[in-house]
Chain A
């Protein structure tokens, strides 16, 4: 059934067979398998095609470093693209597809690229797309189809994701031997500990280890420490959880894969101390055709044998420059495979493990290297040659050895990613020949293989010490603990080997791959250097080295070494690269968490919202507010409804829910002084009960917000702001009070939600208020335009403002929001006699535009002064106010500034699209300079023709001139510059 499955051992559960599908065929694995181990158990080695050259590729690794086995997991809406098969736990019914290799793995159209691989050399994408632009359409289609790491599902993700904030004393990233010891030491001191590991089981390298710790088998020791940790208070153990981001001030992000109703959880952790114990990745070796399926990392071979009871080959060769790969030879031999040879680049030989290999009768070739691999879709053999360590000289006699598996080890690279993300530098270790973490810049300690400790005892000890150190830094007293001892074999030093010398010209021999995922080869890097690239960051971008979803976990260091060699420099001089989050890819779902759909953004509704809904209002979003847009009657569209609402309001009475206006109560003995500085008009001259239209400027002199403000008492004002500007204005006022004028005795309170505002507008508005019962005399002489009074209306306490945003006789009723719907309903009922008409934001816009009233943010854009808006009358000469000085800056005095004007299309029928560009000469050839743009434009039912507001260069002195509106279809139509006030230019109606 599973040809490569070993009969006993491993951490799989043979009593739980699981069926799964891969590329349309059904296979069987066991609980405890990953998708990768189950595929290998079934003898499936070919899992994809490479990105650029479409070469067949197999599984290389056993963890996060895997570059080739990138899968689409699941189908339909739940499909997950871009998953590494080495990190996908097998479950019954799992469906997986290769994400690369179109249309099928065996016959791949893109493989034609391989025949033209010289065309696809470094910089191919850049060079190709720079000049023959006409061909881009072709290239794009071709590249998009042949590249990529799977397809995003088209349907919404049915699963749930959530976020959780957490705090801890010590966060341990990685639960291998060092991480576990660190967590145990810290937890025993009383520290709150979170330990996270990306694997389903804790243990890291111990899960595949054949060593002993304190004379216990590694897996036994592992069970004990995991049990002990779980029993300690204050320890959170997260498996299937990858620490993928290390941000400022010890803020880390963890993506947890879960199996219950929440599919993934994002942990946002603030840790007082962090211990990085993420281990190390084995380095591949660089030789010809080293990408053939069947070439694997030696440690991955051991992992598949010991942890998953899968022997990935029958006849193996091991190729190494260090001692650790000898373990793979021992493991392969133990699993029943024939190990034809261990090829060790070192002349001097290896340490203790080598003895076991020799005792097993495995031939060891010292001072030899593998130069080439035979076989296309599967390794069929290797060629080895004698080598004396010289850079480019291979010595004599090539030997061929048949095999179906090549286990390679070029040494180890500490996983320095999180240290780098934290802001730390990585430094080159001349003895270990790898980058190790430099000084910590945050509260962080790196341990174990992550700092280049290759012996298990060292890892256990450094974990213990770091756990104690972190606990002490958090002021906990550490527990007495002795570091466990493991039976580490004595080793000999690694021999640096970044590139096996090629048998012939390295640029003519078969490709020696460095980055499998991006098909970056030795030749590509040498070509980049020949073309003048020096900086590692430039070379990376030119060759795509390290730009895959694996972020070059396997290839980066070899690539830098080859670059250094080509430049004639040392590796540290070439520099290292900066790693950025995420450490491994994370889903959009887990980033969004619950903030999707209705929870994406808060929704604000007025107190009268239910009435609007039951009246069938169409709504529009204004910031977070849902506001009635218009109230269509049966069969009406927007334009018909708005025309009706406008006419009804101007002829009788209309009603608008204006509750979204920002409302601010200002009190204190310095309220007048404060507002004098904020507003441009003379606030101190306002009598109690007076209202004024006020504008606020930024210090740059540009209009920031506007609204009616009223003096309620000697030391009390009521301010209204635009709907969108409410929060900004409040912050603006607070900032001046706190930072610049703390001596002023002023208090600000937002009343926006407390009060609802009902605007009653039209010639019958006074009669309507009188009808429902008003405690004050509403006659003009007692309650004139631009005043306010407190009153009882229909038995409810209100503030009444006689202000108008429509130009009609109008009142704004401010009422406690708890009474708002009652008040609205009362007015609607009483208004039947006047055919009262509720109207929405669209009609409000038309009515105000007919009067030339601006909307800040629509008719202004942060570059418009009050002078541009003909609001000079609002600018006090008697005082300073914010922004005043800027109005006399030379740029604000230019004659040709864009100024607010009215526009009438001369055809009397075209409603100009808002944003339309205005030009002087309709027959000019492109590019045509524009002299302004349309900011507001509507069909005016009351006037019977379209109107528009526009900002036109020098517009105030161009009345009655004709300019042209440039329409989207390329035509230009004449428009006449007129006054911005289209309706009731003498303002008689609002004063009625």
Chain B
């Protein structure tokens, strides 16, 4: 079971968190201008790399904040965790 450092709460067990998958998927500003293929790319396509992976996690059974995690998908080592939008919630 992973030990994940919530940027707000500190290190907690994985069972307190839920994984939101790949980070950095930005919702297109103007979906109507996208082709079907471009929209499908946003909607369905994910990298699923072997190795370093930037992910979004939610401290769902804690402070409920979303934050960034850099995790190795082979070793499960977590290189770092970080806040998403320090401007707003600090």
Q: Is the CB of A739 within 8 A of B76?
A: no
Given A270-B13, A699-B43, A742 and B64 contact (CB-CB distance below 8 Å): no
Q: Does B41 contact A (CB under 8 A)?
A: no
Residues of chain A within 8 A of B1, CB atoms compared: 247-249, 251
Q: Is the CB of A734 within 8 A of B64?
A: yes
Contact across chains for B84 and A739 when beta carbons are under 8 A apart: yes
- Binary contact readout A729-749 vs B (1 if CB under 8 angstroms, 0 otherwise): 001001100111011000000
* Residue A890 CB within 8 A of the other chain: yes
Q: Which of B2, B39, B60, B84 contacts A885 (CB 8 A)?
A: B39
B36 lies within 8 A of A890 (CB)? yes
Closest A-chain residue to B65, C-beta based?
A: A738
Do B2 and A249 touch across chains, with their CB atoms under 8 A apart?
yes
Q: How far is the CB of B10 from chain A (nearest CB, A)?
A: 13
Residues of chain B with a CB closer than 8 A to A699's CB = 27, 43
Q: How far is the CA of A551 from the CA of B22 in the complex (A)?
A: 37
Q: Which residues of B contact A248 (CB under 8 A)?
A: 1-2, 14, 76
When C-beta atoms are compared, the residue in chain A nearest to B34 turns out to be A885
A423 at the interface (CB under 8 A from B): yes
* C-alpha spacing A251/B87, complex, angstroms: 35
A802 within 8 A of B: no
Q: What residues of chain A lie closer than 8 Å to B87, measured between beta carbons?
A: 742
Q: How far apart are B69's CB and chain A's nearest CB, in angstroms?
A: 13
A735 touching B66 in the complex, CB below 8 Å, given contacts A248-B2, A885-B39: yes
CB distance from B48 to the nearest CB of A (A): 19
Contacts A248-B76, A249-B1, A441-B75 given: A700-B43 contact, CB under 8 Å? yes
Q: Considering the chains assembled together, what is the distance between the CA atoms of A441 and B76 in angstroms? A: 11
Chain B residues whose CB sits within 8 angstroms of the CB of A249 once the complex forms: 1-3, 76
Q: How far is the CB of B50 from chain A (nearest CB, A)?
A: 15
Residue of A nearest to B85 (CB): A742
Q: Is A541 an interface residue (CB 8 A)?
A: no
Are A739 and B43 in contact (CB-based, < 8 A)? no
- Judged by a CB distance under 8 angstroms, whether B45 is at the interface is no
Query: B81 within 8 Å of A by Cβ?
Result: no
Q: Mark B12-49, 1 if CB is under 8 A from A, else 0.
A: 01100000100000110011101010011001000000
Find out whether the CB atom of B66 lies under 8 angstroms from the CB atom of A738. Answer: yes
Query: Chain A residues near B88 (CB, 8 Å)?
Result: 742-743
Which of B32, B39, B60 lies in contact with A731, CB distance below 8 A? B60
A residues less than 8 Å from B14 (CB atoms): 248
Q: Which residues of B contact A247 (CB under 8 A)?
A: 1
Q: Is A886 at the interface (CB under 8 A from chain B)?
A: yes
Whole-angstrom CA separation of A885 from B39 in the bound complex: 8
The complex places the Cα of A738 from the Cα of B65 at a distance, in Å, of 8
Asked if B56 is an interface residue, CB under 8 A from chain A, the answer is: yes
Contacts of A419 in B (CB 8 A): none
Q: Interface residue count for A (Cβ, 8 Å)?
A: 24
Would you list which residues of chain B between 56 and 90 have a CB under 8 Å from chain A? Answer: 56, 58, 60, 64-66, 75-76, 84-85, 87-89
A:377-424 near B, CB below 8 Å: 423
* In contact, A423 and B36 (Cβ under 8 angstroms): no
Please measure, in the bound complex, the distance between the C-alpha atom of A890 and the C-alpha atom of B88, giving whole angstroms. 39
State the CA gap A885–B76 with chains docked (Å): 36
**Cβ of A605 under 8 Å from chain B:** no
Assembled-state Cα–Cα distance A247/B26 (Å)? 34
Using CB atoms, name the residue of chain B closest to A885. B31
**Quick one: given A248-B1, A270-B3, A886-B39, are A739 and B66 in contact (CB under 8 Å)?**
yes
Interface residue tally for chain B (C-beta within 8 Å): 29
A residues less than 8 Å from B26 (CB atoms)? 740
- Alpha-carbon separation in the docked complex, A436 to B88 (Å): 52
Residues of B within 8 A of A884 (CB): 31-32
Query: Closest residue to A738 on the B side, CB-wise?
Result: B66
In the complex the two chains form, what is the Cα distance from A738 to B88 in whole Å?
9
The chain A residue sitting closest to B39, CB to CB, is: A885
Distance between B47 CB and nearest chain A CB, rounded to angstroms:
17
Smallest Cβ distance from A700 to chain B, in angstroms?
6
| In the complex, per-residue mask of A431-459: 1 if CB is within 8 Å of any chain B CB, else 0 | 00000000001000000000000000000
Q: Which residue of A lies closest to B56 (CB)?
A: A739
Q: How far is the CA of A884 from the CA of B13 in the complex (A)?
A: 37
Report B74 CB to chain A, min CB distance, Å: 9
Nearest CB in chain B: distance from A435 CB, A: 21
Residues of chain A with a CB closer than 8 A to B66's CB: 734-735, 738-739
Residues of chain B with a CB closer than 8 A to A890's CB: 36
Say whether, besides A270-B13, A889-B40, A740 and B27 are in contact (CB < 8 Å): yes
Q: Which residues of B contact A735 (CB under 8 A)?
A: 20, 58, 66
CB-based nearest A residue for B44: A700
Instruction: Report whether A885 and B85 are in contact in the complex, using a CB–CB cutoff of 8 Å.
Output: no
How far is B3's CA from A250's CA once the two chains are assembled, in angstroms? 9
B66's nearest neighbour on chain A, judged by CB, is: A738
Assuming A247-B1, A249-B1, A884-B31, is B84 touching A738 (CB within 8 A)?
yes
A880: Cβ under 8 A from any B Cβ: yes
In this complex, what residue of B is CB-closest to A247? B1
**Minimum CB–CB distance for A836 against chain B, Å:** 41
- For B75, list chain A residues within 8 Å (CB): 423, 441
One of B3, B32, B39, B84 near A880 (C-beta < 8 A) = B32
Chain B positions within 8 Å of A886 at CB level: 39, 43
**Closest chain A CB from B32 CB (angstroms):** 6
Say how far A273's CB is from chain B's closest CB, in angstroms: 14
B58 near A731: Cβ-Cβ < 8 Å: yes
**Beta-carbon contacts of A191-207 to B below 8 Å, as 1s and 0s?**
00000000000000000
Please report which residues of chain A, range 707-740, place their CB below 8 angstroms from some CB of chain B when the two chains form the complex.
731, 734-735, 738-740
The answer to whether A889 touches B36, judged by C-beta atoms less than 8 angstroms apart, is yes
Contact partners of A441 in chain B: CB under 8 A: 75
**Shortest CB–CB separation between residue B45 and chain A, in angstroms?**
13
When chains A and B are docked, how far (Å) is the Cα of A850 from the Cα of B64?
Answer: 40
Provide the residues of chain B in CB contact with A889, threshold 8 Å. 36, 39-40
Q: What is the CA–CA distance of A889 and B75 in the complex, to the nearest angstrom?
A: 39
With a cutoff of 8 Å between Cβ atoms, the chain A residues found around residue B65 in the complex are 738
Q: Hey, which chain A residues are within 8 Å of B2, CB to CB?
A: 248-249
What's the nearest-Cβ distance from chain B to residue A731, in Å? 7
Chain B residues with CB below 8 A from A885, complex form: 31-32, 34, 39
Q: Which residue of chain A is the closest to B78 with respect to CB atoms?
A: A249
Separation of A890 and B37 alpha carbons in the complex (Å) = 11
Separation in Å of the B8 CB from the closest CB of chain A? 12
**Min CB distance, B22 to chain A, in Å?**
12
Q: Note all chain B residues with C-beta closer than 8 A to A700.
A: 43
Known contacts A731-B58, A738-B84; is A251 also within 8 Å of B3 by CB?
A: yes
Type the 1/0 row for A214-250, where 1 means its CB is closer than 8 Å to any CB of B: 0000000000000000000000000000000001111
Cα–Cα distance between A423 and B2 once the two chains are bound (Å): 13
Residues of A within 8 Å of B84, CB to CB, are 738-739, 742
Contact A880 B31 (CB under 8 A): yes
- For B58, list chain A residues within 8 Å (CB): 731, 734-735
A745: nearest chain-B partner, CB-CB: B88
Q: Which residue of chain A has its CB nearest to the CB of B29?
A: A880
B26 to chain A, nearest CB (A): 8
Give the contacts of A30-82 with B (CB-CB under 8 A).
none
With a CB–CB cut-off of 8 A, which chain A residues contact B3? Answer: 249-251, 270
Q: Which of A166-200 contact B (CB under 8 A)?
A: none
Please measure, in the bound complex, the distance between the C-alpha atom of A738 and the C-alpha atom of B59, giving whole angstroms. Answer: 12
**In the bound complex, CA of A742 to CA of B67 (Å):** 12
Besides A249-B2, A889-B36, A890-B36, 10 other A-B contacts (C-beta < 8 A): A251-B13, A699-B43, A735-B20, A738-B85, A742-B88, A743-B88, A880-B31, A885-B34, A885-B39, A886-B39
16 A–B contacts from the bound complex (CB under 8 Å): A248-B2, A248-B14, A248-B76, A250-B3, A251-B1, A251-B3, A251-B13, A270-B13, A699-B43, A734-B66, A735-B58, A739-B56, A739-B84, A740-B27, A880-B31, A886-B43
A→B interface (CB under 8 Å): 247-251, 270, 423, 441, 699-700, 731, 734-735, 738-740, 742-743, 880, 884-886, 889-890
Top 10 closest A-B pairs, CB basis?
A885-B31, A742-B85, A249-B3, A738-B66, A251-B1, A742-B88, A248-B76, A739-B66, A249-B2, A885-B39
